[in-house]
Amino acid sequence: MAAITTGTTCVFGIGDASIGELFVQSYSVNSTFNLSGLVAGENGRTQTARYDDRKTELTIDGICITSGMPVLGQALNFTLNVDTAYSGGDTATTSFSGTITSVSQKGSNKDFTSVSVTAVSYEDVPAVAPSE
């Protein structure tokens, strides 16, 4: 059955998000400047501000389908719902492309095993899996 929406149309859910053997439950994106410089005047107030080197960090939370999970250093491509990623440029986009920097697992005797995967991308650094 199709969803029925009334009122203002808004972005809902996580779309067709998936990575490997993980049912994606949620994700969060944090885009910041990796480099900033400030100059204060004689009165102590900021007179000049420079922000450079955009960095995007993506964390995906999901439930494990099998034990085959993403690994550290692996490239990760993911489609977001809205333009908040700065992978490879100074324009926000829905396409995230980064390198996995953290994988954490939570197990319980009362719940399914969950995994959080964090990846980072920098404005001028291509996401490439390391050579073996």
Task: Count structural domains, the chain.
Answer: 1
Give the pLDDT confidence of 86-107 residue by residue, as tens digits. 877 778 888 898 999 999 999 8
Pairwise CA distance, residues 95 & 106, whole Å = 28
Whether residue 9 is contained in a domain is answered as no
In a domain, 3, yes or no: no
Rg (CA), the chain: 19
Predicted TM-score (pTM) of this structure: 0.81
Q: Residue 82 sits in which domain range? A: 22-122
Tell me how crowded residue 33 is: count the other CB atoms within 10 A of its CB.
14
Q: Is residue 50 part of a domain?
A: yes
Alpha helices for 41-128 (secondary structure H):
none
pLDDT, tens only, 62-90: 998 887 888 899 989 888 888 888 877 77
